[in-house]
Amino acid sequence: MEQRWGLPLVAWPLRLRPNLWDVVALPLVLGLLALIAWGGVAVSAHYQVGQPLTISLDPWALPQYAARTVLRMAWALVASLVFSLAYAALAAKSRQAEKILIPLLDVLQSVPILGFLSITVTGFIALFPGRLLGVECAAIFAIFTSQAWNMTFSIYQSLRTVPAELIEAARMYHLSPWRRFWRLEVPHAVPSLVWNMMMSVSGGWFFVVASEAITVAGHTIVLPGVGSYISVAIEKENLPAIGWAVLVMFIVILLYDQLLFRPLIAWSRKFQPETSPEEDTVRPWFLIMVQRARLFELVQAGLLALNRWLDQSFAKIGQARPARPQRRPRPALDRLYDVAILGLALAAGAWLVVYIQAHVSGSEIGWVFVLGLITAVRVLVLIAIASIIWVPIGVAIGLRPRLADRVQPIVQFLAAFPANLFFPPVVLLIMRFHLDPEIWLSPLMILGTQWYILFNVIGGAAALPAELRRAAQNLGVRRTLWWRRVMLPAIFPAYVTGAVTAAGGSWNASIVAEVAQWGNTVLTATGIGAYIAHTTATGDSARIALGIGVLCIYVLAFNRLLWRRLYNLAAERLRLD
């Protein structure tokens, strides 16, 4: 029987007949296409650097600004997903690539968003001269840098901790590397990835203010968006405008929750080892619509046909290539490779040191290292406090799917709430009660990053196999023993992912958290973040490089000495289990 897209032609009249769910699906699809088309026209407008872009504080302008911000974050999320899958797969599957990619990821995560903007914005503008698209691409790339690293760490950790029995099953079924990746490894990573995608979008909201206000050649370009609206409202001390921005953000985050993340979480549960009957009953309305609307059935049929074609193509390529003999270890070549990497790193470091020493005194360089140590103490103390608070709460939420569905939008809103909006009350309270900024500005560093720990712990607890819970109940494992023997080992890999990204985000957040502003009042805490913010404002490239370089050294040291060892411990324990 003749087929098209894997379906008999006689079945197509039934597939093309719409149902009631299509009445809801069609307007949503058409609205999404219209939004993308409108955004494409807006970003391709003519623009020259120096041309003013005014931001109105009229509340009726906020829906348009929110749409522009949502489009930027959506494109950044797509780019982050593609980047994360490719980067994490290469790092997890190649020992040689891992030696470069994981330290590089540590460095990229530690580079502040201001550092990325100062380097890339000129290049993006040069790619699209005379168009606003260059500045838009720079803003999207800045949001991408606030999303991609967390997702990449999540997928990398999942690929490193695939259970041994699943790997053995893939070998028994003779799955090709392509099929093993998409049918075993990616599904294994999906539950944790979905939670980290939520956290990445929230992290994008945290840095959206910085990404929509870009400085080029002494000119500040303020792109239309919620972030720039908040920035102008803070500058003009307009509290009603901030209130309207919070309301619009709440609506946008609610739409994100209903149309994207709630369906994704429900869908991702089928990739967990086991799901409880309570979890099976949780089906969001949007997921039901996607599963039942004829429109999405046709889309799904096309995607399945494309997937089958790709599977067959890669299978033929694998069969055509002769089987390569297993490569024997070559310690000499491995050492030579390591020496080459070390040599390149030392050469780059030496060049940077020479450049900085030509413009900055030795005493100032030493002082910047002291500033980095001060910020490091803040980061470690804040991560410890956040872990003590959010690990028990995350476990309680993750073990109760219905509670997780209710709490998820609340946590998502709190995670997406820009720390900049806390600056006015914090500054006013510090001035009113004569508090020490060195202490009371510190919590601003963790406000946007503590949620990485909570989201990952919720995902790790939700993935706990049901038989393990029942075994613990039957054996009477309770309280301290239950935490030590059951729950903490189960959530440990997810917690490490959350803690390492929370720490990296806290280093990054120090740029905006150690300098708080409300109108003309500016409070500053001593630390590397305040140093980088000050030198970026003055445009001193040598001192910017010094601040970012010292920050990267500290982050690399912590990741190598602490977080990477915890990653390896989590992987070894899962392999043994």
CA geometry: angle at 68 spanning 130 and 507, to 5°?
Answer: 95
Task: Give the pLDDT band of residue 78 (cuts 50, 70, 90).
Answer: very high
Q: Is the pLDDT of residue 412 over 50?
A: yes
CB 252 within 8 A of CB 66: yes
Alpha-carbon torsion, ordered 398, 403, 409, 411, to 10 deg: -50
Q: Is the pLDDT of residue 342 over 60?
A: yes
Mean per-residue pLDDT, 444-454: 80
- In the 3-class helix/strand/coil scheme, how is 2-27 assigned residue by residue? CEECCEEHHHHHHHHCCCHHHHHHHH
CA dist., res. 430 & res. 428, Å (int): 6
Distance set, CA 150 to CA 2, 197, 482, 497, 505 (Å): 46, 8, 29, 8, 9
Distance set, CA 77 to CA 16, 118, 128, 151, 257 (Å): 32, 21, 22, 10, 15
Flag whether the pTM goes above 0.85.
Answer: no
Give the pLDDT of residue 341: 67
Task: Give the pLDDT band of residue 5 (cuts 50, 70, 90).
Answer: very low
Give the pLDDT of residue 346: 74
CB 311 within 8 A of CB 179: yes
CA dist., res. 271 & res. 462, Å (int): 12
pLDDT (tens digit, 9 = 90+) per residue, 508-527? Answer: 778 777 887 766 777 888 88
> Which has more confidence, 217 or 111?
111
Mean per-residue pLDDT, 158-162: 82
Q: Is the pLDDT of residue 65 over 60?
A: yes
Give the pLDDT of residue 160: 82
Residue type, 32: L
- The residues spanned by each domain of the chain are 47-283+340-576
Of the segments 206-210, 314-318, 399-403, which one has the largest average pLDDT value?
A: 399-403
Q: Please classify residue 271 by burial: count the beta carbons closer than 10 Å to its beta carbon, then call 0-12 exposed, 13-18 middle and 19+ buried.
A: middle
Give the pLDDT of residue 468: 73
Of the segments 143-152, 309-318, 354-363, which one has the largest average pLDDT value?
A: 143-152
pLDDT (tens digit, 9 = 90+) per residue, 233-266? Answer: 877 878 888 888 888 888 888 888 788 888 888 8
Mean per-residue pLDDT, 480-505: 81
CB 224 within 8 A of CB 53: yes
Of the segments 144-158, 264-278, 309-323, 442-456, which one has the largest average pLDDT value?
A: 144-158
Q: What is the CATH number of domain 47-283+340-576?
A: 1.10.3720.10
**Phi, psi dihedrals of residue 200, rounded to the nearest 5°:** -65, -40
Span of 61-70, 77-86, 90-99, 330-339 with lowest mean pLDDT: 330-339
Give the pLDDT of residue 370: 92
Q: Is the pLDDT of residue 232 over 60?
A: yes
The mean predicted confidence, pLDDT, of the chain is 78
Give the pLDDT of residue 261: 81
> Any idea which residue has 């829906």 for tokens?
63
CA dist., res. 257 & res. 247, Å (int): 15
**What are all long-range contacts of 167-175, with beta carbons under 8 Å and residues at least 24 apart?**
none
Catalogue the E-assigned strands of 409-502.
none
3-state SS assignment for residue 539: coil
Q: Please classify residue 425 by burial: count the beta carbons closer than 10 Å to its beta carbon, then call 0-12 exposed, 13-18 middle and 19+ buried.
A: exposed
Task: Give the pLDDT band of residue 385 (cuts 50, 70, 90).
Answer: very high
Neighbouring-strand partners of residue 452: none
DSSP code string of 315-347: HHHHHHSPPPPPPPP-HHHHHHHHHHHHHHHHH
Work out the percent of the chain whose per-residue pLDDT is above 70.
83
